[in-house]
Amino acid sequence: MNKTIKLIVKGKELTFNVDVATYNMYLNSLTPNNKIAPAKTFLQRTVDAESREALKEFLELPGAPVLISNALLEEYMPDLEIELGK
């Protein structure tokens, strides 16, 4: 599933192109002690060329890569209704 997602961060529009392979690589790279580097890498891999420069300034802000990637993932993931079966 390929999806183009636009986020507004501090008044700047950023466009990302997310696909299943990149999404899976991101999730597989997360560890309890390593979240910032995978988030930065995920954002850099998916950001549209026209948004690349704007993204760079946000990647240096404390916690921003995780916050931005969380917003991106929330929009990318399908909305599934899941119930516990008995």
Q: What is the pLDDT of residues 12-69, one digit of tens each?
A: 999 999 999 999 999 999 998 999 999 999 999 999 999 999 999 999 999 999 999 9
pLDDT at 24: 96
Q: Are the CB atoms for 74 and 66 separated by under 8 Å?
A: no
- In the chain, % helix, strand, coil (3-state, to 5) comes to 50, 20, 30
Q: What is the pLDDT of residues 55-66, one digit of tens each?
A: 999 999 999 999
All domains in the chain, ordered by first residue: 3-76 (3.30.2220.10)
* Predicted TM-score (pTM) of this structure: 0.90
Give the residue from 46, 42, 44, 23 showing the smallest Cα distance to 34.
42
Give per-residue pLDDT as tens, 1-14: 999 999 999 999 99
Amino acid 86: pLDDT: 84
